[in-house]
Amino acid sequence: MRSRNPFVTQGYIDPAHFCDREVETRQLLDDLSNGRHVTLMAPRRYGKSGLIQHALRTPEADCVFVYADLLATTNQADFVRVFANAVVGALDSRLEKAASTFAAFFKSVRPKMKADSDGGVGNGRRAMSCMTACLAST
């Protein structure tokens, strides 16, 4: 069986693989919620990209997060391609999440009809509130 290297050397993985930077994360989230533009400056490989990805993936960020690395772009066409791919990728993952929430909802639906004593049929109010909760969570 192939073993996996536990030492991550590239890119941001998840909060469990990200150390410290708690003050900086708070500061970035504060800037975000106050609509401030931020420029992060540090020597190479200090963790600028990791910090941005970490902060913007926390639930507090509550935003659609588009990450585009423009370092390798050399002209306007490159910039547009990289930026457009990043936007589409971010929206895709949002749509995928919505689709899987809907799929889970419809899988969990068990149609049930019940006649009332006056001959009417139950109005499915519970299903509606479940669907509303589902939509709110996307």
Ligand X SMILES: Nc1ncnc2c1ncn2[C@@H]1O[C@H](COP(=O)(O)OP(=O)(O)OP(=O)(O)O)[C@@H](O)[C@H]1O
22-33 helix and 48-56 helix, angle to the nearest 10 degrees = 60
Smallest gap from residue 96 Cβ to ligand X (A): 24
76-108 helix and 125-136 helix, angle to the nearest 10 degrees = 160
Nearest-angstrom CA–CA distance, 27 and 33:
10
How many Cα atoms sit within 13 Å of 77 on the Cβ side?
0
Give the contact letters, 29-48, x = binds to Mg ion (CB under 5 A), - = no: -------------------x
- Tell me, by CB under 6 A, how many residues bind ligand X: 16
Q: Which of 1, 6, 7, 20 binds ligand X (CB under 6 A)?
A: 20
23 lies in the binding site for ligand X (CB under 6 A): no
53: helix, coil or strand?
A: helix
44 lies in the binding site for ligand X (CB under 6 A): yes
27 lies in the binding site for ligand X (CB under 6 A): no
Nearest-angstrom CA–CA distance, 8 and 15:
13
Query: Which of ligand X, Mg ion, none has residue 136 at its interface (CB below 5 to 8 Å by kind)?
Result: none
Site residues (CB under 6 A) for ligand X? 9-12, 18-21, 42, 44-50
Site residues (CB under 5 A) for Mg ion? 48-49
